[in-house]
């Protein structure tokens, strides 16, 4: 593609939010990245523009048939001032896998990583630097054709927005309570479960609300056909420490292939721990717990990094995991991953990429 990214200066910059009140995805920075696609021109006109509403035709594909894909990654401010991204190429690779499934034209992965770097460089003052804080990066693509016929859009818009976010846990990691959903399903093999696309979330909201009403934090999804096998949790992949091994559901087409999941598996193997990616029935899991073999449960995802699970309910059965506390391995994984992401720990696996502000300078 090799196009140059233009910069359109904002008249006024926003007041930054209090570092203590960031939460997740509530505040947005001064600028966003935008790029368009048409059949004639392909992806074109990449630009960094003031953050704000976009105008779309009410007949746009996205509104009626949900043709969309998104990604989520973070920029971290290291103690020495460097700005680090964590495996951004993995997110772009996945974005293209999602695009392929949703019939959206492929992006130039390297170019979009470059766009992310430029935007983050422009917005570097928005990167919070307290423990657990970061600048969340949300690239997404929407179909923008004004046509109600059901077919893939011929026009698309790729946007990247940024949001300073707080620590998912506040000061300490507190284990979450999980409800094993046995009625609703998130995805089935052959569908779009492996793609990061909005429809999966729309389909999950009902069950999420139900679990909250019952006093739980998140839903654990079972497979869509037999309602027997464990898939994933809300917006996280799931891991179980069974005696000295770690088990996680194998990627089967309906599970989202998390970058954090991939990184956790690599770290565990690096530490000499046996990891088994396999089909895990919920019945077997609860049996393991009965026999005191289930030592830890944790979810993995960009937002929380590692989220310990303290409590699981399935039909009439309940499990309290690790006495409702954060297990040792969960804590070690959290400390190591966040250590690498923020440049505190040696990045032995070569996962971080620095954003060099000077190099990424954009011109008006
Ligand atoms: C994004 C996401 C995850 C986690 O993926 P990461 O790349 O680790 O952030 C897991 N499940 C679902 C459904 C997701 O959308």
Say which CATH number the domain at 150 has. 3.30.470.10
Distance, CA of 53 to CA of 31 (rounded, Å): 12
Domain extent for 271:
176-325
Same domain, 13 and 159: yes
Gap from CA of 186 to ligand 1 centroid (Å): 13
Residue 360 has pLDDT above 90, yes or no: no
Distance, CA of 108 to CA of 28 (rounded, Å): 25
Q: Is 302 in the pocket of ligand 1 (CB under 6 A)?
A: yes
Q: State pLDDT tens for residues 305-349.
A: 999 999 999 999 999 999 999 999 999 999 999 999 999 999 999
Same domain, 82 and 195: no
Compute the Cα dihedral for 12, 18, 19, 21 and give only its sign: negative
Q: Is 260 in the pocket of ligand 1 (CB under 6 A)?
A: yes
Distance, CA of 299 to CA of 74 (rounded, Å): 18
Three-state SS for 136?
A: strand
Q: Is 256 in the pocket of ligand 1 (CB under 6 A)?
A: yes
Compute the Cα dihedral for 138, 266, 347, 322 and give only its sign: positive
Residue 2 has pLDDT above 70, yes or no: no
Atom number, ligand 1, closest to the C-alpha of residue 204: 13
Gap from CA of 7 to ligand 1 centroid (Å): 31
Residue 1 has pLDDT above 70, yes or no: no
Q: Is 258 in the pocket of ligand 1 (CB under 6 A)?
A: yes
For the residues of 237-299, what is the DSSP string, one character each? EEEEEETTEEEEEPP-SSS---HHHHHHHHHHHHTT--EEEE--BHHHHHHHHHTT-EEEEEE
Q: Is 232 in the pocket of ligand 1 (CB under 6 A)?
A: yes
Same domain, 112 and 233: no
Same domain, 131 and 195: no
Same domain, 10 and 144: yes
Same domain, 195 and 265: yes
pLDDT (mean) for 16-45: 96
Q: Is 196 in the pocket of ligand 1 (CB under 6 A)?
A: yes
Gap from CA of 303 to ligand 1 centroid (Å): 9
Same domain, 70 and 196: no
* Distance, CA of 306 to chain centre: 12
Q: State pLDDT tens for residues 266-310.
A: 999 999 999 999 999 999 999 999 999 999 999 999 999 999 999
Atom number, ligand 1, closest to the C-alpha of residue 186: 13
Three-state SS for 115?
A: helix
Number of domains, the chain: 2
Q: Is 208 in the pocket of ligand 1 (CB under 6 A)?
A: no
DSSP for residue 105: P
Atom number, ligand 1, closest to the C-alpha of residue 260: 8
Our CA dihedral for 107, 111, 117, 118, rounded to 10 degrees, sits at -110
Gap from CA of 11 to ligand 1 centroid (Å): 36
Q: State pLDDT tens for residues 60-100.
A: 999 999 999 999 999 999 999 999 999 999 999 999 999 99
Is the pTM higher than 0.85? yes
Q: Is 236 in the pocket of ligand 1 (CB under 6 A)?
A: yes
**Residue given tokens 């040696």 in the structure block:** 346
pLDDT (mean) for 45-57: 98
Residue nearest to atom 5 of ligand 1 (CA): 258
Q: Is 343 in the pocket of ligand 1 (CB under 6 A)?
A: no
């Amino acid at each position: 593609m090799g196009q140059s990214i233009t910069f359109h200066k904002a008249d006024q910059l926003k007041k930054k939010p209090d570092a203590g009140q960031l939460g997740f995805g509530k505040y947005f920075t001064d600028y966003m990245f935008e790029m368009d696609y048409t059949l004639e021109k392909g992806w074109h006109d990449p630009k960094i523009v003031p953050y704000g509403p976009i105008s779309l035709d009410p007949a746009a594909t996205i509104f009626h048939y949900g043709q969309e894909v998104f990604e989520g990654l973070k920029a971290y401010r290291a103690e020495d001032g460097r700005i680090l991204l964590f495996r951004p190429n993995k997110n772009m690779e996945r974005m293209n896998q999602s695009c392929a499934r949703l019939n959206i034209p492929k992006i130039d992965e390297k170019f979009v990583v470059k766009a992310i770097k430029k935007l983050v460089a422009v917005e570097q003052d928005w990167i919070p630097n307290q423990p657990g804080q970061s600048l969340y990066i949300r690239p997404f693509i929407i179909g923008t054709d004004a046509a109600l016929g059901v077919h893939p859009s011929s026009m698309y818009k790729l946007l990247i927005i940024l949001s300073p976010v707080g620590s998912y846990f506040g000061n300490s990691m507190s284990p979450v309570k999980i409800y094993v959903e046995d009625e609703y399903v998130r995805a089935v093999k052959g569908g779009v479960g492996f793609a990061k696309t909005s429809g999966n979330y729309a389909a999950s909201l009902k069950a999420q609300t139900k679990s909250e009403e019952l006093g739980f934090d998140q839903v654990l999804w079972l497979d869509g056909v037999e309602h027997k096998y464990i898939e994933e949790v809300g917006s996280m992949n799931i891991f179980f420490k069974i005696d000295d091994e770690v088990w996680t559901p194998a990627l089967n087409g309906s599970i989202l292939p998390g970058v954090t999941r991939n990184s956790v598996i690599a770290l565990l193997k690096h530490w000499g721990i046996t990891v088994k990616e396999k089909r895990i029935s919920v019945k077997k899991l609860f049996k393991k717990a009965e026999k005191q073999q289930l030592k830890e449960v944790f979810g993995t995802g960009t937002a929380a990094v590692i989220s310990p699970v303290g409590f699981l309910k399935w039909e009439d059965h309940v499990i309290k995991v690790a006495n409702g506390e954060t297990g040792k391995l969960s804590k070690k994984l959290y400390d190591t991953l966040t250590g690498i992401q923020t440049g505190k720990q040696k990045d032995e696996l070569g996962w971080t990429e620095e954003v060099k502000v000077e190099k990424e300078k954009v011109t008006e």
